[in-house]
Chain A
Amino acid sequence: MSRENGLKKFTHSKLFLPLVSLAVVLLVNLIKSPAFFAITVKQGVLYGRLIDVLNRGSEVAILAVGQTLVVAVSAGTDISVGSVMSLSACFTTMLLAGFGVNTTNTIVMPLALGILAGILMGGVCGAMNGALVAKLKIQPMVATLILFNAARAIGLLLNNNQITYIRYEPYKWMGNFLPHVPIPTPIIVAAIVIIVVSLILKKTALGMFIQSVGINSRASRLVGLNSTMLCFLCYVICGLCAGTAGMVASSRIYCSDSASIGLNYEMDSILAVALGGNSLGGGRFNMAGSIIGAYTIQAITTTLLSFGVSTDQAPVVKAIIVIAIVVVQSPVFQDYLENRRNRKASAAKGVA
């Protein structure tokens, strides 16, 4: 009985459907090519499709963390995160290489400082978005549209309208491998971001406050919550996440390609939040769901590529899969299933 209850609790939990979606995607791979799950060690580092999913999904997972908070607190989305990634990357490469330098083998500033500055740049962008949304009450989509357009261009400006290459070995670490560590660094970075934010949510009342403001900001104000400050804070965290993701993306290709870094990532991060079973109407949120959502998106992409679907056509198939997942999770469909189950149950009772 208790086991049955446990199972029921699990199937009714908010994480159930996101997990099932991810599992189904992985299962398809298992049937098609069992090699998908093979993890091998080559030249001292881990290889395999599964590692690939975790590795490539890092940026979206990091973005999803921040995006979840923004959606929860303001019932809106930050569509500037992709551009902010690009700006952060450009800012860091400018600092490391020096303004106007096209390609360099040495850096003019300590690496850690440069990366920290890039992450903080994300925070500054987040603060600007936050001020517009929280203080001036501009609709989130409009407020973040400004940086969505401008950030990428500012980045290009910082790099003197060219792509700056940092051919300095340690710069590649963050997006590839640390010496003597078999796990790709992006996975570690994503894990750190997730753990840090989870700890903040767990060890403070921030999580409850964010949800409270997102659900009913008037009532929240009357119980003494500073809705403006909380909303601002979420945008800053989201910006910091975008900065971090930008560092990873830039390190992967050891340059700041302002046109391609973070391109369309804002959409993937929003999709991750939605796939995680979170309402884009704000309020209650489920961080774990968003992260699972992020990796689901990556799993779909990797699967399609491994099936030989061309990169040009992949979005079509991806769209179909996403529709299926979203429909299955929709309340209307869930109600339909629930009703069917109830009817069957009462029919069975009637027979007995």
Chain B
Amino acid sequence: MADDVILTMRGIGKTFPGVKALDNAQLTLRKGEIHALMGENGAGKSTLIKVLTGVYSFETGEIHMEGVEGNMINHSTLEAQNHGIATVYQEVNLCPNLSVAENLFIGRQPRTKFRNIDWKTMNRRAKEIMDGLQIECDVTANLENYSIAIQQMVAIARAVDMGAKILILDEPTSSLDDNEVEKLFKLMRDLRSKSVSILFVTHFLEQVYAVCDRITVLRNGSFVGEYPVSEMPRMKLVQAMLGKEVEDLNEIANSEHKEVSDEVVVEAKGISHKGTIKPFDFTIHKGEVIGFTGLLGSGRSEMARCIYGADRTQTGTLKFEGKELNAKNPYDSIQAGMGFLPDDRKADGVIGDLSVRENIILALQAKKGMLHPIPMSKQIEIADKYIKLLEIKTASRETLISQLSGGNQQKAILGRWLATDPKFLILDEPTRGIDIGTKTEIQKLVLKLAGEGMSLVFISSEIEEMLRTCTKLYVLRDGQKVGELDGNDLTQGRVMAVIAGDADKKEEKA
């Protein structure tokens, strides 16, 4: 083992029922580097991490770590922790109702001589740790008072303080805004200088170039290559991940669908939801794609939920194809011809223990009602159709959806709504946490559906995606619609300006 190498994984193989998740995967981590692990959905990134941290067993291959004799096989995350490998997930695994200090020292609290918890020492040491990492927070306040970003940093601080030599960050930036991401990066660079090795899993190419030293690319469970970031242009990286030449994303032309028919599909007037959304108007025409944009927490998702009827509105009226629709629950909206892909895939989208087939036909079956079951042959036909159309990677249509990778789950949920043949479909963050190839496919699909006459709402944190697909953008801030942009106003700078609020005054003048 070379001097600066802290971890090597070689020839790792892991099989799930019907799927070879890892086949000859490898990874080399050096001391004090930030190493990106990249790959499409289902490439095996999560599996490789879980093999390393002892969540999964593996069949072939060897793992060697500095300071550990022979082949290191972790049987649990605790064992991995004892070897100095800590993982921080996108969803923070800490206790929100305990203080920052308690979270830092949970399970290893300093004691007084009477075996009580020594709060004074604990809070002082917690303060030292947080100061050392230059994270500003009150260590005695409950963790839930802080943003996800700070919570993640607390989790990282805990891991580092427990002597982690390797820190795995699994999609840490998915729910952070730019400012928070920058803070996290600062912390990561800080740790790098303290010779902690960081394995960074992300879907955001920009972030890889902003903070990483090396990249390992996986594809279909196999090792593709390891590259220094400085020698790897973006296009080559994307090609390595996809294994084929990609059409430039910018080829998705926006101009094709500029023309929108006059036929109004949904017209909402003054609808609101107490506490989250102030009254707003919303009109969408046949074949139109409207985007909702704004910072996290600006009310994008809540607005979508109001229109769909997932949250009951307190004021206003909504007309669907000219007829008044007073949706008491999603069932009414579905009957009218709406569909809604929620942003929280895990909590609101997938039914984990049902098969891919059942997940796909579920909304259609709910629409038809309990007493009119879809015959099995028809179910199979529908499921196969969307598995093929959306290229869902699954061992079979009867595989439980929870065994699929995130992006493929997302595609199945998308298939679920397409199966109901909606006239109006809301897609809330359909591209979150999925790879660039699938992102492109979904954007193309949105344009294709619009071309076929479907009206869509498309919500994404990535403004470029919306600029590419939408004909109109609603900008939200603090639960209020603060602007509508279309035509020549659809530029990144203009959108940013409205989000930030600079444009307000100008508009008032005009």
Contacts and interface: CB of A to CB of B under 8 A. Distances in A.
Interface of A: 203-206, 208-209, 211-212, 215-216, 218-226, 283-284, 339, 342, 346
B319 interface: no
Contacts of B342: 219, 222
Nearest to B400: A284
Given A204-B371, A206-B370, A212-B354, A222 B348 contact: yes
Contacts of A223: 330, 334, 362-363, 366, 416
A283 B351 CA distance: 9
Given A222-B330, A226-B329, A216 B350 contact: yes
Nearest to A229: B370
Given A206-B370, A208-B362, A224 B331 contact: yes
Contacts of A206: 370
B489 interface: no
Interface string B351-377: 111100010001101111111111000
A211 B340 contact: no
Nearest to A227: B329
Contact of A342 (B59, B363, B367, B373): B59
Contacts of B372: 205
Chain B interface bracket (under 10, 10 to 19, 20 to 34, 35 or more): 20 to 34
Interface in B203-229: none
Nearest to A223: B363
B310 A208 contact: no
10 contacts: A209-B370, A212-B351, A215-B352, A215-B354, A216-B347, A216-B350, A219-B342, A222-B342, A225-B366, A342-B59
Q: Which of B331, B362, B367 has the most CB of A within 10 A?
A: B362
A284 B353 CA distance: 7
B350 A222 contact: no
Contacts of B329: 221, 224, 226
Interface SS of chain A: helix
A215 B351 contact: yes
Contacts of B370: 204-206, 209
B366 A219 contact: no
Interface of B: 57, 59, 310, 329-331, 333-335, 340, 342, 347-354, 358, 362-363, 365-374, 416
Contacts of B57: 339
Nearest to B332: A224
A211 B59 CA distance: 34
A284 B57 CA distance: 26
B216 to A, nearest CB: 27
A224 B354 contact: no
A219 B351 contact: yes
Contacts of B354: 208, 211-212, 215, 284
A283 B348 contact: no
A43 to B, nearest CB: 46
A222 B350 CA distance: 11
Nearest to B15: A342
Contacts of A346: 59
Nearest to A214: B353
Given A211-B353, A215-B352, A221 B371 contact: no
Nearest to A228: B329
Nearest to A226: B331
B350 A212 contact: no
Contacts of B367: 224
A208 B352 CA distance: 13
A205 B340 CA distance: 22
Given A204-B370, A205-B374, 4 more contacts: A205-B371, A219-B350, A222-B330, A226-B331
A212 B340 contact: no
B1 to A, nearest CB: 26
Contacts of A220: 351
B347 A219 contact: yes
A221 B351 contact: no
A218 B331 contact: no
Contacts of A204: 370-371, 373
Chain A CB count within 10 A is highest, among B358, B363, B366, B367, for B366
Contacts of B351: 211-212, 215-216, 219-220
Top 7 closest pairs, chain A to chain B, by CB: A224-B366, A224-B331, A224-B334, A223-B363, A205-B373, A215-B353, A283-B353
Nearest to B364: A223
Contacts of A203: 373
